[in-house]
């Protein structure tokens, strides 16, 4: 048997389809030259059948690749959405922590102010000491009042 005739009866696969079609076409041409038109017609039909099968296989492969790419894209979108939601949750949690820390700071400062007020009340004298200048001015005012110079006393 000729090498080409052996391949005719084998089933083609993804790797050898081009070689198989080439050999089949050579077989068809040789049958045509030898006048074996029925066999040439069968080879031509087989070539067309294999081309259709190859086209359908490549189409199915492309469709599967596209479906996989679409699935990957959808998964990436879902992951990105989840990350965005996580970021939103993190932001909300941070805001809550900030509010809590601010409330604690206000409470602490309020307690410190109250504590400092109590310390000042305990340590400051209740009677105030007048300054020497104020005492001097009060004395001068009293002297003007004794002299009935009310304008100068005022």
> Could you report the average pLDDT of every consecutive run of 10 residues in the chain (154 residues)?
49 79 91 91 91 91 95 93 86 94 96 93 78 87 82 72
Task: Write down the pLDDT at residue 150.
Answer: 74
**pLDDT at 9 (0 to 100):** 54
pTM above 0.75, yes or no: no
Q: What is the DSSP string of the chain?
A: --HHHHHHTSPP-TTTHHHHHHHHHHHHHHHHHHT-HHHHHHHHHHHHHHHHHHHHHHHHHHHHHHHHHHHHHHHHHHHHHHHHHHHHHHHHHHHHHHHHHHHHHHHHHHHHHHHHHHHHHHHS-SSPPPPHHHHHHHHHHHHHHHTT-HHHH-
Q: Could you state, in order of their start, the residue ranges of all structural domains in the chain?
A: 3-123, 127-154
């Amino acid at each position: 048997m000729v090498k080409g005739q052996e391949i005719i009866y084998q089933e083609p696969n993804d790797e050898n389809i081009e070689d198989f079609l080439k050999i089949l076409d050579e077989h068809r041409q040789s049958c045509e030259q030898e006048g074996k038109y029925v066999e040439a017609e069968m080879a031509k039909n087989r070539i067309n059948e294999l081309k259709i099968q190859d086209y359908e296989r490549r189409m199915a492969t492309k469709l599967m690749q596209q479906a996989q790419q679409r699935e990957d894209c959808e998964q990436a979108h879902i992951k990105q959405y989840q990350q965005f939601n996580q970021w939103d949750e993190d932001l909300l949690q941070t805001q809550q922590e900030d509010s809590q820390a601010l409330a604690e700071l206000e409470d602490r400062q309020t307690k410190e102010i109250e504590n400092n007020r109590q310390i000042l009340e305990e340590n400051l004298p209740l009677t105030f000491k007048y300054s020497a200048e104020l005492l001097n001015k009060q004395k001068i005012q009293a002297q003007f009042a004794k002299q009935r110079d009310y304008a100068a006393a005022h």
